[in-house]
Amino acid sequence: MQPTIVERAEQPYIGRRETITMTEFAHIADQLPEMFGDLAARGVEIAGPPFFRYRVIDMAADLTVEAGIPVVTPPAVQEPTFTDTLPAGRYATIRHIGHPDELIGVTAKLLDWAQQQGLTFDMRPTPSGEVWECRLEQMFTNPADEPDMHRWETHLYFKLS
């Protein structure tokens, strides 16, 4: 799949945020089923596939990552769940079908492509890592419906400056 640029509209969501290492990623991912269950029990209308939003990235140390679910109208929530909005704008994107472990290479492909195109991301370096306005991995495959992780579909969306 080749990278492209898309326009995305503003999107409200509910989320949970954790500071983790890459080896602890399951800790944030495993929160999605409970979040979906809570939304279903309360009749909240879901507006799209779940995602992981990378807020701060320091691959040698910690990542601040959110597990999020787009919603039509944000409901009242209790901590540790919160509501927020994905920003509208232009995003560099790429579609991937394959194991989640392959996303590091897919991410590198998207970053390299953007650099070759002279594009800049809405990101700023800080002493604690890269702070991103919006960097998403959105999952279009429900693991309950497709247990073969090599067949999972994931889209990356990185907000451009």
Per-residue model confidence (pLDDT) at position 116: 97
Report the distance separating Cα 30 and Cα 108, nearest Å: 25
Series of mean pLDDT values for 10-residue runs along the chain (161 residues): 96 97 90 95 96 93 95 95 98 97 95 97 95 97 92 97 96
Q: Which of 12, 17, 27, 37 is nearest to 79 (CA)?
A: 17
Residue 159 token pair: 């907000």
Report the distance separating Cα 106 and Cα 123, nearest Å: 19
Indicate the residue type of 146.
E
Q: How many CA atoms lie within 13 A of 17 on its CB side?
A: 12
Whole-prediction pTM: 0.95
Report the distance separating Cα 152 and Cα 141, nearest Å: 5
Residue 71 token pair: 């919603």
Q: Domains (ranges, CATH) in the chain?
A: 4-159 (3.20.80.10)
Per-residue model confidence (pLDDT) at position 143: 87
Per-residue model confidence (pLDDT) at position 118: 97
Alpha helix positions (H), the chain: 25-29, 32-41, 103-116
Per-residue model confidence (pLDDT) at position 22: 84
Q: What angle do CA 101, 66, 121 make, to 5 degrees?
A: 75
Distance of CA 126 to the CA centre of its chain: 21
Q: Which region holds residue 89: left if phi is over 0, alpha if psi is between -120 and 50, else beta?
A: left
